[in-house]
Amino acid sequence: YGWPEGEVPMLQFDRPFRCTMCCCCCLLNPQEMSVKDVTTQTPLGGTKMEWSCPMTVCPYRRFAIFDSFATKEFEVEVPLACWDGCRNCCAPSCFNPVLVMPIKVAGSGEEVGALESHWPGCNIRGVCGAGMANNNYAVNFPPQANAEQKARILSALHLVDLCFFERRSNQK
């Protein structure tokens, strides 16, 4: 997998191929990513894109973070346009350098952390890449999160990155 000789990765992230399509009020083949501990081959859980009828008109996307027993632990909301009171409008860009995606406790909706996408600045990546070359992230983990929960939150970060920010220059 491109690892230096003698080095063993700690975590393995798996994203199966999905051709996601919105059909009325349902999402066919939602994007998902799982994570496992490579040393013990133990599945730790993962992240799955969620969908509901209001999302067809409201500009945000939600990702559910599940443990290894498929119990929802957290939700990550990715606000688009002015969904969150315009605090993320035009982010990440020179107009608003940080896109904040809150991590909320499933069920209660209490905000306990955040994924942040930071604009790389006025350089080739930031200007010519039009934000698509933006891979500067910060993760504010929930204060009580254990190592497995942090691994699952990282799976959410990777999935959000793949869904929204990873586009090659030849993709329109």
- Domain spans in the chain, listed from the N-terminal domain onward: 11-165
Residue 35 bridge partners (DSSP): 13, 45
pLDDT in tens, the chain (172 residues): 567 788 888 899 998 887 777 777 777 778 899 999 998 999 999 999 887 766 666 667 889 999 999 999 999 988 876 656 666 666 677 777 788 899 999 999 999 999 998 877 776 655 555 555 557 899 999 999 999 999 999 999 999 988 877 765 555 5
Measure the CA–CA gap between 97 and 134, rounded to whole angstroms: 11
95's enclosing H/E stretch is: none
Start-to-end Cα distance in the chain: 29
Q: What is the pLDDT of residue 5?
A: 84
Q: What is the pLDDT of residue 45?
A: 96
Confidence (pTM): 0.82
Beta strands in the chain (DSSP E): 11-14, 21-23, 26-28, 32-37, 42-50, 60-67, 72-79, 98-105, 111-118, 136-140
The amino acid occupying position 151 is A
155's enclosing H/E stretch is: helix 147-160
Q: What is the pLDDT of residue 76?
A: 94
With the CA atoms of 7, 13, 16 and 21 taken in that order, what torsion angle do they form, in degrees rounded to the nearest 10? -150
